[in-house]
């Protein structure tokens, strides 16, 4: 019996190995959160030549195992989304990811929600046009509202943007009305993009496209 693609790809590369292969471990963030392009900051010694050579060798070996087609990488620390084809970056986008905050259920001690973006290897499972949000219980409890009994009262349209790409367990890459918050960890776990970047991701990503979140 053949194994699921996620299992094969995940074991073949591993999270840290893939990050090294695509160069993210070798590009620390600056204070502004952007990728550092001008060398180490003042007072920080650059990596010794032996270390750089060893890292370069590792990256070359691992790059050969990177996915051959298009794949998506999300850096939740920098709040950046990248669409890549091997070592070529097709899109760099400012995103918003999970806040990491915790909401306790007011009527059920011990029940809580953690609003974090999951880390690991995923695959795009669905592609939606003009998606609607079916609000879960926590969305009402967070606002101090009673959870409705009528399912129709949970549906909200126009807040997720033109497209949504699902990658499992209710998580999506989608648009946002709050573009001023892009670049921050403010979501309930989904990955938000502006309209233009979302259109590009939707055009490039298909069902089955690998998604790496770290």
Which residue range is the domain that position 190 belongs to?
68-213
Q: Is 1 inside a domain boundary?
A: no
Q: Is 202 inside a domain boundary?
A: yes
How many domains are there within the chain?
A: 1
- Bridge partners, residue 174, by sequence: 164, 192
Q: Looking at residues 90-113, what average pLDDT do you find? A: 89
Report angle CA 166, 199, 87 to the nearest 5 degrees: 80
Prediction pTM value: 0.73
pLDDT score, position 20: 47
CA distances in angstroms from 73 to 88, 127, 168, listed in the order given: 12, 17, 16
CA distance 196 to 201: 9
The average confidence (pLDDT) of the chain is 79
Q: Is 94 inside a domain boundary?
A: yes
Question: Please, which residues have CB within 8 angstroms of residue 51's CB and are 6 or more apart in sequence?
Answer: none
CA distances in angstroms from 5 to 62, 140, 214, listed in the order given: 18, 37, 19
Q: Within 13 Å of residue 135, how many CA atoms lie on the same side as its CB?
A: 21
Token duo for residue 138:
């926590």
pLDDT score, position 146: 86
Token duo for residue 22:
């695509």
- Does residue 31 surpass a pLDDT of 60? no
- Judge whether 182 and 79 are in contact, CB under 8 Å: yes
Higher pLDDT pick, 77 / 34: 77
Q: How confident is the model at residue 34 (pLDDT cuts 50, 70, 90)?
A: very low
CA distance 191 to 128: 15
- Does residue 153 surpass a pLDDT of 80? yes
Domain of 133: which CATH number? 2.40.440.10
- Does residue 11 surpass a pLDDT of 70? no
Q: pLDDT (tens digit, 9 = 90+) per residue, 47-80?
A: 567 767 766 766 666 566 566 799 999 999 999 9
Closest CA to 87 of 101, 104, 106, 67: 67
pLDDT score, position 98: 96
Q: How confident is the model at residue 180 (pLDDT cuts 50, 70, 90)?
A: very high
Q: Is 150 inside a domain boundary?
A: yes
pLDDT score, position 113: 82
């Amino acid at each position: 019996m053949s194994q699921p693609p996620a299992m094969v790809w995940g074991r073949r590369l591993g999270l840290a190995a893939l990050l090294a292969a695509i160069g993210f471990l070798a590009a620390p963030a600056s204070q502004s959160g952007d990728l550092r392009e001008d060398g180490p900051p003042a007072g920080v010694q650059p990596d010794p030549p032996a270390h750089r050579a060893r890292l370069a060798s590792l990256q070359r070996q691992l790059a050969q195992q990177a996915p051959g087609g298009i794949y998506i990488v999300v850096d939740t620390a920098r709040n950046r989304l990248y669409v890549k084809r091997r070592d070529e970056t097709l899109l760099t986008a400012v995103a918003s990811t999970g806040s990491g905050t915790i909401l306790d259920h007011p009527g059920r001690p011990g029940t809580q929600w953690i609003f974090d973006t999951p880390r690991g290897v995923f695959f795009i499972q669905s592609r939606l046009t003009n998606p609607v949000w079916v609000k879960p219980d926590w969305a009402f409890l967070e606002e101090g509202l009673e959870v409705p009994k009528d399912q129709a009262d949970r549906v909200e349209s126009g807040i997720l943007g033109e497209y949504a790409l699902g990658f499992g367990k209710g998580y999506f890459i989608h648009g946002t009305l709050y573009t001023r918050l892009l670049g921050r960890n403010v979501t309930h776990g989904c990955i938000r993009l502006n309209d233009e970047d979302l259109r590009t991701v939707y055009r490039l990503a298909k069902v089955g496209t690998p998604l790496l979140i770290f």
